[in-house]
Structures are given as C-alpha cells and as structure tokens.
Amino acid sequence: MKRRREQMDALDHQILTLLAENPQESYSKLKEKVGVSVGTIYLRSQRLKEWGVIKGARLQLDPKKLGYSLQVAIRLHVSDVPAALKALENRPEVSTVHVLSGELNLMVYAYLRQVQDLHDLLQFFGQALKADRSEVHIVLDTPIDRGVPIPKQETLASAPKRRRSSSSKK
C-alpha cells in the first residue's frame, strides 16, 4: 500500500490562516476568499483535523463580563506532578497548566473573582499539592494574545514530513 505524506500545501495554509483569524467563518465565506469550492474547503479542513493540526476551536470570553477581576499566573514546585495535575483538573478557576523545566515545575493560570479566592487557591496549593514554593504574578493586561503562530508556507514545506501508519487506508 502506498503511503501518503501529511504535508500542508499553499491551499491548506491559506485555509488554516483564515480559520485561525475566525474559527466560526462559514465555508461559503471561506470559498469566496480562497476561490475554491465549499466541498474542497470542507475536505481540507477535515484533513487538517485528521492530521492533528486543528485540534478544535474555542470561544474567546471576556473574563471581566463573567465576574472575574483577577487573572493570575502562578509558578510552583511540587514533588508529585501527576498527582498535582489530577488535583488541578477539579479546580474550575484553573484555566491552563503547563509543566515546566527548572525548579518551579508547574505554571498555573487561573481566573478569580477576588483576592480571597487567590488566598484560597494558594492554601490549596500548599495543602493538597504539597507545593513547597510558589511565585504569584497578577496579570495586569494582555496586549498580545495570538495563540499558536502559523508558520510561513516556505517553513512548512521544509519541515519534516510525518507518515501515516500502514493501517491507514487512503
């Protein structure tokens, strides 16, 4: 069976760029911008999902309009990262967690309504996660929030190509 390489071409790149700007853009509007059929747009976007390039689409919410007055970024040191991640899954105020290299091995982003909520979260880190060190940063502003950058087409063309497994049928 012939293997097909997962490689984005210029059309995939154009569709991805437009969807990154507006994930809710209709295929008919994308068709007008790209100059191909709705079916082609659909098939290409589905293929980008199959390849794992597109993982989903999220709503962008205004935290202040939802009652959150604080956004915090907290770096911590915990000795049991898997247990900490499991415990953090159950904290609704936690929006993102990164596992880091270095002494402070977790970065936790959270949205809070008031300073007391920050105090409670820090107590949770100490008691439930056994965090022995933390560094708290209050987010004052987010002037740039682009998400994952889309590489230029030339960069994608020279990137290593992944192969589909032999069990794929195409």
pLDDT averages per 10-residue partition of the chain, 170 residues: 65 93 93 96 95 89 95 98 97 98 98 98 97 97 89 64 46
Instruction: State residue 57's pLDDT score.
Output: 85
Residue 70, C-beta contacts closer than 8 angstroms, at least 6 positions apart? 111, 112, 113, 114, 115, 117, 118, 138, 139
Q: Examine the domain organization and report whether 35 and 70 are in the same domain.
A: no
We report the CATH number of the domain holding residue 109 as 3.30.70.920
For residue 152, give the DSSP letter.
P
Instruction: State residue 169's pLDDT score.
Output: 43
Instruction: State residue 156's pLDDT score.
Output: 58
Q: Examine the domain organization and report whether 84 and 120 are in the same domain.
A: yes
We report the CATH number of the domain holding residue 16 as 1.10.10.10
Instruction: State residue 147's pLDDT score.
Output: 82
For residue 99, the Cα-to-chain-centroid distance in whole angstroms is: 14
In a domain, 93, yes or no: yes
Last residue of a domain, one of 60, 79, 101: 60
Q: What range defines the domain where residue 42 resides?
A: 8-60
Kindly state the tokens that stand for 78.
């915990």
Q: Examine the domain organization and report whether 46 and 30 are in the same domain.
A: yes
Q: Examine the domain organization and report whether 125 and 83 are in the same domain.
A: yes
Distance CA 53, CA 20 (A): 11
Rounded (10°) angle between helices 10-21 and 27-34: 130
How many structural domains comprise the chain? 2
Q: Examine the domain organization and report whether 49 and 73 are in the same domain.
A: no
